[in-house]
Structure 1
């Protein structure tokens, strides 16, 4: 598998903000980079994002005194094709 998180727009863990623009990660630039990196491998992209979503949910839940975060839209919805 391709190294998933390279380039400047990577997350600062455990707060999951972009290290460049401080937006919630994946920011717009990170999304574009991931789409380009996984061009032709949408299932691979969704698997990666699912893993990262679980990790981010765990981190953000711990930081927010156990309040569960729903990161589905942030991590997965944008990466689905219209037919999904």
Structure 2
């Protein structure tokens, strides 16, 4: 049995190579949370760099239907922010 293939993005489309969901897909998110479990700040810096890359590439591909900044923020960073306790 071969090892599972990583859920990485197809650039410049920013879709998952395995499941074709918008990247980071659910599996990629879980993998990233596990990899950065002890350094959430590093995860956010990493994702911020990817957000920057994706914003430019997605805009170049289709400037008329470019995702809104809030959508890209939620997709790349919003899910990874620590939850506030109430």
1:50 pairs, out of 16, 40, 48, with 48
Unaligned runs of 5+ in 2: none
List structure 1 segments (4+ residues) > 4 angstroms apart after TM superposition: none
Is 68-77 or 32-41 further displaced after alignment?
Answer: 68-77
Q: Give the greater-gyration-radius structure (CA).
A: 2
2:75 aligned with 1:74: yes
Unaligned runs of 5+ in 1: 1-6
Aligned length, in residue pairs: 77
Structure 2: distance between partners of 1:66 and 1:55: 18
